[in-house]
Each structure stands twice: as structure tokens, then as C-alpha cells.
Amino acid sequence: MNEYFDLFVSFAKIGSITFGGGYAMLPIIERELVAKKGWVTIDEVMDYFAIGQVTPGIIAVNVSTFIGYKRKGIPGGILATLGMILPSLVIITIIAGFLKNFSDLPPVQHAFKGIRVAVGALILDAVIKLLKGAVKDWKSVAICVAAFALSAVLNASPVFLVIAAGFAGFLLYRPNRPPRPSAKDEKTP
């Protein structure tokens, strides 16, 4: 199969079965693009989600653009983005007409309650998998706990959290520098 077509179809598949926003697509990307196709690593996916969180636009679209660009440059980024967007556009157009007439019916409301629970479970599963890959030492535990506390307790902005965690990672993971010579060491007899 043509690689460009495969890229489009893969993201159209992800876009057509992802419900609940960008983070709900994490387990699907992990299964389809990391495990099955090997196009990206889980660490790269985490990086793309972090960047997608702090850049304008929809996270799912940003992540698909990054992965498509990594695979096939600008045409790949465009095709992956179109693949992600088109199923939603078609489905939402159909659902909008349906919901306009039926959204207040109890069976429809009950179905949405079930869908919300399933999406929550998918997100929880993805978070656990991502944390297993990201939290590897005391430094990453400290960053994780601090970010969670700032988010849960202070309702900190996701943009702030990603930037602060990046800065903390820079400080904590930079290579040790050799000690600077003191003035006493610089004097030669």
C-alpha cells in the first residue's frame, strides 16, 4: 500500500473511533502506531502530546500533524491531519442533525453517560501506560508529583505545567558540570 495512503487511512481510523478528545486517542495511538506499525515510540508520543498541549489548536490534530510530518514531511503532516479531521467532520455533521431532535430523550442521555465512563477508562489506561514509561527515577517522580499537585490543588494551567516541568527536567537532568576552578587553583607558582 502507498505509504501516504497508509498514513491517511491510519489516522482516519484513529479519528473515526476516538471519542472524548485528544487524550482519549492515546491508547489507540499506542496500539496502532507504536505497537503495530512502529512509526513512533511511546516517548515520542508523550513529547508530541506535551507540545500539542502548549501550542494553539486541538491536541489530537496537533499530534497527528507531528506524527505525519515525522513519517513523510509536509505532505505526511497534511494527510495525517486530514485523516484525523475528516471522520469527525462527517460524524459530527450527522450527529448534530440527530441531536437537534433527540438529545433530550432519556435513552440518548443514558447512552452518553455510558460513553463518558468508557472514555474515562480509556484515558486512565493511557495515563497508567504513559506514567510507566515516563516515571523512571526519583527526579521524574518529583516532577510528576509536583505537576499533579499543582494541577489538582491549584488548578494550574496545563501550559504552565508543561513549561515548568520542562524547566525542572532541564535543571534536574542536565549533565554534571566539572567544578569551576577557584581563584587559589588558578595561581601558579
Q: What is the pLDDT of residues 78-133, one digit of tens each?
A: 999 999 999 988 988 888 888 878 888 899 889 989 988 988 888 888 788 878 87
Q: What is the pLDDT of residue 184?
A: 62
Determine the residue type at 176.
N
Determine the residue type at 127.
V
- 98, with CB counted inside 10 A (0-12, 13-18, 19+), is exposed
Q: Closest Cα partner for 7 from 88, 62, 66, 80?
A: 80
Q: Above 80 in pLDDT, residue 22? A: no
Q: What is the pLDDT of residue 71?
A: 93
The model carries a pTM of 0.60
